[in-house]
């Protein structure tokens, strides 16, 4: 329930940060002024005793987020990929949130597998190990199929995770509603829509059948991507709370020492992961939405292996073109075109001045392009762009939230492998290739072909549609249609457009 009782949850969040010492860490990292520190500590300190104690063996912030539950842990996972934001020491501390959380016991996991798959575990698996990785929502066991002897990974949801996550999300909803009520200016940012988006994404992560389907689709899309692997799903050993897939053998992408010892080129890996993400987002419109180090390995042959497909992002073709044009405009430093794209897409209200918006975008881009490679940041660009679009009345684009967040995460992963990776140098050929393929003559031909196919499907229904429209135009006294020729012209025009589309598409594609 999303009522006022959630105030207790939010108070306890602040109290837990204070009790674990994480409040001081957060204030230090924010470089908060003295007055803010005094106010924050004064408001929270009386409730300190209500905070969750957590594991005293963990660093303060990791301890607090782990104690608060799965939604907070997800937040910590994102921060762990941003050493340029939170500092390398804090990023390293938070990295344990990715796959090194305390596991639940083996007996519980085995029972969950038997209950879900409705067979005795020994009949399905000849080996079933202790947990090899434990994250916020599930843990993974290494096993061997009794029938074939193949090594597999078996993912099992944590007991009661659905209820625990629901409590966190309900508190977030209450916080969003309270913010919108107390601060009307915040409604432009649509905080409730943001929470609804986050809710939908992670709720999908709690049904492993959906994750299995996502992995299968992602594997099909990326089958031809050089240097990239997706483990195959074992459908007969997967269900709502259990998922089985091929075992991925490799070094963790977050372990630079292991990567160096294995002789991998970290600069090439950092560039490749960024390039792969952009290709998946722009080319396929379907991308891994949780690409932190805990979900990536490097095989002995240097291939990047992705797993954990609970959070996947999808963007339609039109939005991909808009996003690509915005990125391309920044890469080319064509701020006028970036501004025009925002207006054409309806992202910025039409009553704003496009030239003034272009000048504001130049103030965003130029300082970043003046930086050396180690300081160029997509995250910083998005942050500055947010400030500018806020001033020009742009609403939060919920369909781009996951894309933007993942872009920041992937950049962080890339930078953790090699700080010298130049984000723009990697992005430029990918974006240019997509622009050439999606906005050129051949793309026009494909668009016209799609239009013709849609209109062809309505061909058999056109006579009935015309007759129905003519009848609706008639008055209750059975007066003749007001303008029957208008409908006839429209229908004829539709036919001509369909024919022209087919011809244009054929010429373009040949």
Catalytic positions, please? 290
Assess contact for 172 and 4: CB atoms under 8 A.
no
Q: Which two tokens stand for residue 120?
A: 């005795």
Smallest CA-to-CA distance from 78 within 420, 402, 427, 424 is with 402
Task: State the angle between helix axes of 354-369 and 378-391 in degrees (0 to 180), rounded to the nearest 10.
Answer: 160
Q: What is d(CA 292, CA 278) in angstroms, rounded to the nearest whole number?
A: 15
Tell me the DSSP string of 175-230: HHHHHHHH-GGGGGG-HHHHHHHHHHHHHHHT-HHHHHHHHHHHHHHTTT-TTEE-
Q: Which residues pair with 470 in a beta bridge?
A: none
Q: What is d(CA 187, CA 179) in angstroms, rounded to the nearest whole number?
A: 8
Smallest CA-to-CA distance from 156 within 37, 85, 240, 94 is with 240
Alpha-carbon torsion (170, 173, 177, 179), positive or negative? positive
Q: CB-based burial of residue 56 (10 Å sphere; 0-12 exposed, 13-18 middle, 19+ buried)?
A: exposed
Q: What is d(CA 279, CA 134) in angstroms, rounded to the nearest whole number?
A: 30
Q: Which two tokens stand for residue 22?
A: 């994480």
Assess contact for 189 and 396: CB atoms under 8 A.
yes
Query: In which residue are the tokens 């629901």 written?
Result: 166
The residue count of the chain comes to 510
Sequence-distant (6+) residues with CB within 8 A of 239 are 116, 117, 208, 209
Q: CB-based burial of residue 472 (10 Å sphere; 0-12 exposed, 13-18 middle, 19+ buried)?
A: exposed
Whole-number CA gyration radius for the chain: 27
Assess contact for 216 and 205: CB atoms under 8 A.
no
Sequence-distant (6+) residues with CB within 8 A of 219 are 230, 232, 233
DSSP three-state, residue 130:
strand
DSSP three-state, residue 323:
helix
Compute CA distances 42 → 34, 39, 47, 50, whole Å: 12, 5, 10, 15
């Amino acid at each position: 329930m999303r009522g006022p009782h959630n105030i207790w949850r939010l108070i306890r969040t602040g109290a837990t940060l204070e009790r674990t010492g994480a409040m001081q860490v957060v204030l230090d990292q924010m470089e908060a002024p003295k007055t803010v520190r005094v106010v924050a500590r004064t408001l929270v300190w009386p409730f300190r005793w209500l905070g969750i104690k957590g594991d005293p063996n963990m660093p303060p912030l990791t301890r607090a987020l782990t104690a608060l539950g799965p939604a907070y842990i997800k937040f910590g996972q994102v921060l762990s990929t941003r050493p340029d934001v939170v500092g390398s020491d804090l990023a390293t501390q938070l990295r344990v949130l990715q796959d090194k959380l305390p596991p639940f016991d083996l007996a519980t996991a085995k029972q969950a597998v038997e209950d879900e798959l409705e067979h005795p575990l020994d009949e399905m698996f000849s080996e079933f190990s202790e947990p090899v990785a434990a994250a916020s929502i599930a843990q993974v066991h290494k096993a061997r199929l009794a029938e074939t002897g193949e090594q597999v990974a078996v993912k099992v949801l944590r007991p009661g995770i659905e209820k625990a996550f629901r409590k966190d999300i309900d508190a977030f909803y209450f916080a969003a509603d309270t913010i919108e009520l107390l601060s009307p200016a915040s409604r432009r940012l649509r905080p409730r829509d943001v929470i609804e988006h986050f809710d939908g994404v992670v709720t999908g992560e709690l049904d492993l059948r959906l994750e299995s389907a996502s992995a299968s689709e992602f594997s099909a899309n990326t089958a031809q991507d050089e240097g990239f692997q997706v483990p195959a799903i074992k459908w007969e050993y997967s269900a709502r709370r259990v998922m089985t897939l091929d075992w991925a053998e490799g070094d963790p992408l977050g372990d630079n020492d292991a990567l160096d010892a294995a002789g991998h080129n970290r600069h090439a890996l950092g560039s490749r992961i960024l390039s792969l993400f952009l290709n998946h987002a722009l080319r396929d419109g379907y991308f891994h939405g949780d690409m932190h180090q805990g979900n990536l390995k490097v095989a002995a042959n240097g291939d990047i292996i992705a797993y954990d497909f609970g959070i996947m992002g999808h963007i339609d073709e039109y939005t991909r073109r808009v996003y690509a044009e915005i990125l391309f405009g920044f890469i080319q430093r064509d701020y006028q075109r970036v501004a025009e794209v925002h207006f054409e897409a309806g992202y910025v209200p039409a009553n704003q001045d496009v030239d003034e918006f272009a000048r504001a975008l130049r103030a965003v881009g130029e300082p970043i392009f003046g930086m050396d490679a180690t300081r160029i940041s997509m995250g910083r660009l998005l942050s500055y762009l947010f400030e500018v679009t806020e001033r020009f009345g742009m609403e939060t684009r919920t369909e781009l939230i996951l894309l933007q967040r993942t872009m920041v995460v992937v950049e962080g992963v890339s930078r953790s492998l090699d700080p010298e990776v130049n984000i723009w140098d990697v992005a430029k050929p990918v974006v240019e290739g997509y622009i050439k393929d999606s906005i050129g003559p051949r793309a026009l031909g494909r668009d016209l072909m799609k239009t013709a196919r849609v209109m062809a499907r309505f061909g058999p229904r056109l006579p009935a549609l015309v007759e129905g429209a003519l009848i609706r135009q008639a008055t209750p006294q059975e007066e003749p249609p007001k303008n029957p020729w208008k409908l006839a012209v429209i229908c004829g025009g539709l036919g001509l457009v369909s024919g022209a589309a087919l011809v244009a598409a054929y010429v373009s594609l040949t």
